[in-house]
Every structure is written in structure tokens, then in C-alpha cells.
Amino acid sequence: MLHVRKTLAKQYTISAKMMADASLDSHADRYIHFELLSSESTICKPFGNLSYSSIQPSYFYSQYSGNHIAWQHSWVQTQTFLVMAGLGYRKSSISAFYANANKQLFFNGADFVQGGKGNVLGISEQTDFRFGRFRLKATSDIKTGHKPI
């Protein structure tokens, strides 16, 4: 795994993480993640994430043999792309995100199936209140999904 951090103008930090399997074939797992963070000294704290992963499902999903059930599958890699950006102020933050999933594995009630692709778009808000001795941490999300035919 390679992890690089760079501070910009004493207020922002860019972080990059990259990971890949040692094999160079087309089935090697890959993970790339970029992150932008602001320091605690800024009043409004912008942040952002950009992630891409291409991962082979684990061995359990490919081959299993038990007393009453057995399966053997040859899956392709599942791929996920995520972009998120937001702004924080004191104990509150608001963010927007977009995710694209491709060839994800799911269980349909009888067997594991590898599906098509789909998108998720959303907005999230978090806040933290204090009322004397009591603390309230609230989160609200609005999400919409789209699965192309």
C-alpha cells in the first residue's frame, strides 16, 4: 500500500492511498482513494473524497461445498466509484455524494448472482447539539438510486 500526504497552505491536506495485488493479471484487486481535508483552524471546513475500487469477490463466493449445498462460480471483479464533497461549520456538516456500482454480488434468496450496474446520488447533513448535560447527534440523508436497464 502506498500512502502520500501533502499539506497545502497550512490549511488543507491532500491524502492519496493506492493499493494493488502483487500479480499483474487482469484479476488483481485495485483500490485508489484521494481525500481533501481542512485543518481545525479554518471556520468553514471543505472536505472531499474520490475512491475507485476493483475487487475480486472472496473465495467463499466462488467455491463452497457443505452437507446440503455446494456451488462453484467464476466471478468477474466488482467495481465501485465514489465521489463526495462537503462543507463543515463548527459541529455541523453538509455533503453531497455520487456512487456508481458495477457487477456487484448479491444473494437473491436461492443463489449468489452478479448484477449489472447502478448509480446512487444523495445529500447528507450531520449536526451535534448540546443542551446542558444532554447531547444530540442528528443525521439526515436524501438518496436516489437509478439502475439502468
Go through the chain and tell me how many residues it has.
149
CA distance 80 to 52: 6
- pLDDT tens per residue, range 87-135: 988 888 999 999 999 988 877 777 778 877 889 999 999 998 888 889 8
Contact 142, 120 (CB under 8 A): no
pTM of the model: 0.71
